[in-house]
Amino acid sequence: MDTVRNIILYAPAVLLSIVLHEFMHGYVADKLGDPTPRRAGRLTLNPLNHIDPIGTIILPAFLLIVTRGQVVFGWAKPVPINPMNTLNPKRTMGLTAIAGPLTNFGLAVVCTIFLKIISFAGSLHIIGWILKPIAIMFIGGLVINVVLFVFNFIPIPPLDGGRVLVWLLPDEQARAVAKIEPYGMFIIFALLALNPGNVLNKTIFGVLSIFQWFI
């Protein structure tokens, strides 16, 4: 019963977090002069335009069931972007890339603020039976957004962190890092499987602990 409840309460947070992440990629690209996301119909918050059947539905639902809500992760269809349509393609790619993770960080902050308010209201014994499911929903939002923020900032293309790194590096080094992109996902999956030093988990829990301290 708890698992079914968690799926129902976490699903909106997961969907909103993933959709807003991709939407902001397209929004920033559009503002910088690239019409590609708009022409592809991706400058919308309609989740149907962003859903990837596996990454947005099947995988998150599977993780919610198997881990009983302890681990949640997913993705949406990548927003098509062509930085060559803009005056400074390298800068456009960097700013577009960083927009997604920063959106997740902002959503994590919003979830934390609401959880703080709920915690205060709960201490006053205000309608606890209503506050509990709302709190669970915001906890799910906090966790998924911290995971998306940390994971997407891994500095390996094609993840957002890799593209931000290409933006920040001098041209020669940037080209060298950009060449990794065709093999990037294989490297990322290998790192996730090996998990050297448990770095990813420690980073996620470290960031979460900061938000939890505030709450």
Angle made by CA atoms 166, 182, 60, in degrees to the nearest 5: 95
Structure tokens at 16: 């909103």
181 assigned to active site: no
Secondary structure (H, E, C), the chain: CHHHHHHHHHHHHHHHHHHHHHHHHHHHHHHCCCCHHHHCCCCCCCHHHCCCHHHHHHHHHHHHHHHCCCCCCCCCCCCCCCHHHCCCHHHHHHHHHHHHHHHHHHHHHHHHHHHHHHHHHHHCCCCHHHHHHHHHHHHHHHHHHHHHHHHHCCCCCCCHHHHHHHHHCCHHHHHHHHCCHHHHHHHHHHHHHHCHHHHHHHHHHHHHHHHHHHC
Select which of 14, 22, 135, 160 is catalytic: 22
Residues with catalytic annotation?
A: 22
